[in-house]
């Protein structure tokens, strides 16, 4: 365990919230205790740092805003305290076009994030549900070329049948490129991004800007796109419901899942109670 905790950053889905995307009470309490004791709190997500993410604390029932944000799997960062933001390694239009053409034989529906909306090739049930769940506008491109009209952080594909994800991962792996990499971010989502981008890159950028040693940071995650963030932090924790690869490299694994307030219980048992913060 680290000796000093200056910042805590957590993934959202499968980690900080349950499957209904609600923050459970013990996790909410733990985050508020950390904040009250001067620990910076933050989100490390594959989603863009937009107004939805900035206002998410209200949806989670938190009294205070998060301090730092890692978005687009590390492709963008935002330090709210100092109003500093940066962007890293976006895909170029030609790369986006190549990815979409590569994946066309799979029949999967490509989409991108842009200008506070999701833009897709065609509307389907999964896109409609995603828009409703994330409170985000879904727009069908007038022409497929609109998806590569400008540089972007990533291209995403929702997989309707999770059991086929290994098939799509293998297909992408069989067509490697130095310009992009494919990875699973949940059982039904395959994403393509610049190979230099990961949440660890974003975390280290925030640490440099805020002059906080990475050794004083605790991170939480549940799957592959969290691995670099857990490795770069002084203490990386994987959820009990996490994937085997993430558990294998984490410093610790929670005793409870995200449905059982695993993150909050871990913080209280391993940091808040030992430091006596629960008695304040």
Strands (E), 4-54: 7-10, 40-44
> Does 84 share its domain with 203?
yes
Query: Domain range for residue 182?
Result: 93-193
pLDDT for 90 equals 95
> Does 181 share its domain with 206?
no
| Local confidence band at 279 (pLDDT 50, 70, 90 cut-offs) | low
Tens digits of residue pLDDT in 242-251: 999 999 999 9
> Does 97 share its domain with 188?
yes
> Does 141 share its domain with 18?
no
Asked if the structure places residue 211 within a domain, the reply is yes
> Does 29 share its domain with 14?
yes
Q: Report the distance separating Cα 87 and Cα 106, nearest Å.
A: 31
Tens digits of residue pLDDT in 59-80: 999 999 999 999 999 999 999 9
> Does 142 share its domain with 56?
no
| Local confidence band at 172 (pLDDT 50, 70, 90 cut-offs) | very high
> Does 108 share its domain with 44?
no
Q: Report the distance separating Cα 137 and Cα 51, nearest Å.
A: 13
pLDDT for 280 equals 62
> Does 105 share its domain with 84?
no
> Given a cut of 80, is residue 156 above it in pLDDT?
yes
Tens digits of residue pLDDT in 12-55: 999 999 999 999 999 999 999 999 999 999 999 998 998 889 99
The sign of the torsion formed by the CA atoms of 251, 183, 177, 50 equals negative
Tens digits of residue pLDDT in 185-236: 888 999 999 999 999 999 999 999 999 999 999 999 999 899 999 999 999 9
Asked if the structure places residue 2 within a domain, the reply is no
Mean pLDDT of the chain: 94
CB atoms within 10 A of CB 271: 21
Residues 6 or more apart in contact with residue 196 via CB below 8 angstroms: 88, 89
> Does 203 share its domain with 272?
yes
pLDDT for 126 equals 85
Q: In what order do the strands lie in the sheet with 68-71?
A: 84-87, 76-79, 68-71, 40-44, 7-10, 217-221, 235-238, 252-253
Contact between residue 249 and residue 16 where contact means Cβ atoms under 8 Å apart: no
| Local confidence band at 116 (pLDDT 50, 70, 90 cut-offs) | confident
């Amino acid at each position: 365990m680290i000796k000093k905790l200056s910042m805590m950053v957590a993934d959202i889905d499968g980690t900080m919230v349950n499957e209904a995307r609600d923050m459970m009470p013990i996790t909410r309490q733990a985050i508020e205790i950390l904040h009250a004791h001067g620990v910076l709190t933050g989100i490390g997500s594959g989603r863009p740092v937009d107004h939805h993410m900035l206002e998410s604390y209200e949806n989670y029932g938190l009294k205070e805003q998060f301090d730092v944000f890692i978005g687009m799997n590390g492709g963008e960062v935002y330090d709210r305290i100092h109003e500093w933001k940066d962007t890293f390694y976006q895909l170029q239009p030609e790369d986006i076009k190549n990815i979409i053409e590569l994946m066309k034989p799979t029949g999967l529906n490509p989409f991108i994030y842009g200008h506070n909306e999701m833009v897709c090739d065609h509307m389907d049930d999964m896109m409609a549900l995603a828009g409703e769940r994330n409170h985000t506008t879904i727009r069908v491109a007038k022409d497929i070329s609109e998806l590569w009209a400008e540089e972007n952080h990533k291209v995403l594909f929702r997989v309707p049948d999770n059991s086929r994800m290994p098939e799509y991962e293998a297909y992408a792996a069989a067509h490697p490129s130095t310009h992009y990499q494919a990875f699973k971010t949940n059982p039904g989502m395959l994403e393509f991004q610049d190979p230099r981008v990961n949440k660890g890159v974003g975390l280290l950028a925030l640490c440099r800007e805020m002059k906080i040693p990475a050794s004083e940071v605790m991170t939480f995650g549940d799957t592959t796109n969290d691995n670099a963030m857990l490795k770069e932090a002084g203490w990386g924790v994987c959820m009990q419901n996490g994937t085997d690869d993430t558990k294998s490299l984490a410093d610790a694994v929670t005793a409870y899942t995200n449905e059982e307030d695993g993150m909050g219980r871990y913080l209280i048992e391993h940091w808040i109670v030992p430091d006596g913060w629960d008695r304040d």
